[in-house]
């Protein structure tokens, strides 16, 4: 079972970035923690509002979602990114979200659960509406670039 918090309940002040270390795959990562009411979680999971698909490119695994009509959500993700980019100002932070767009990376086989069937993200078309469960894991350093390690374990199709 996966515990996902609605984006409205995530408090930026409860997010912390731990020091960098080298993981089992020899990558430089800084774990993200979320602490609230005495509970400390490594990483955290956010439930998005319904978002409209702009595009999905299976060759790059890049999903583009329109956040223009969900400014509160976009602003929350931007605030989280700002916190992470301040954790090491010497690096360039690769942003996932702008005021009008959210970019997620996921495999073409990622399932999308609709009310009547399950399909894959590769079958989702521009204009479709989905909700994503977005898991934020670590900050991942590649050279002078800092990336937010994320996964999307669950996608719900709204109009499928």
Domains and CATH numbers, the chain: 21-157 (2.40.50)
Q: Give CA–CA dist 46/79, Å, rounded.
A: 14
CA-nearest of 138, 59, 140, 63 to 106 is: 63
At residue 55, does pLDDT exceed 80? yes
pLDDT of residue 160: 47
Q: Which residue has the higher pLDDT, 156 or 43?
A: 156
User: How would DSSP label each residue in 5-45?
Assistant: EEGGG--GGGEEEPPPEE-TTS-EEEEEEEEETTEEEESEE
Considering only the C-alpha atoms of the chain, give the largest distance between any 2 of them, rounded to a whole number of Å: 49
pLDDT of residue 43: 86
Q: Is the dihedral of CA 37, 40, 103, 94 positive or negative?
A: positive
Q: Name the phi and psi angles at 76, rounded to 5.
A: -65, -45
What pTM does this model have?
Answer: 0.89
Q: What is the pLDDT of residues 90-137, one digit of tens each?
A: 889 999 999 999 999 999 999 999 988 999 999 999 999 999 999 999
């Amino acid at each position: 079972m996966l515990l996902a918090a609605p984006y409205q309940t995530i408090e930026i002040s409860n997010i912390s970035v731990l020091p960098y270390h080298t993981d089992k795959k020899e990558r430089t990562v800084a774990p993200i923690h979320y602490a609230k009411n005495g509970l400390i979680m490594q990483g955290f999971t956010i439930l998005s509002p319904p978002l409209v698909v702009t595009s999905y490119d299976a060759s790059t695994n890049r999903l583009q979602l329109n956040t223009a009509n969900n400014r509160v959500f976009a602003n929350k993700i931007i605030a989280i990114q700002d916190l992470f980019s301040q954790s090491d100002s010497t690096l360039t932070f690769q942003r996932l979200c702008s005021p009008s767009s959210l970019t997620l990376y996921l495999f073409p086989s990622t399932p999308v659960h609709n009310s009547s069937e399950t399909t894959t993200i590769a079958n989702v078309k521009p204009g479709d509406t989905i909700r994503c469960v977005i898991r934020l894991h670590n900050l991942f350093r590649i050279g002078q670039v800092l990336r937010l390690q994320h996964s999307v374990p669950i996608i719900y199709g709204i109009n499928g």
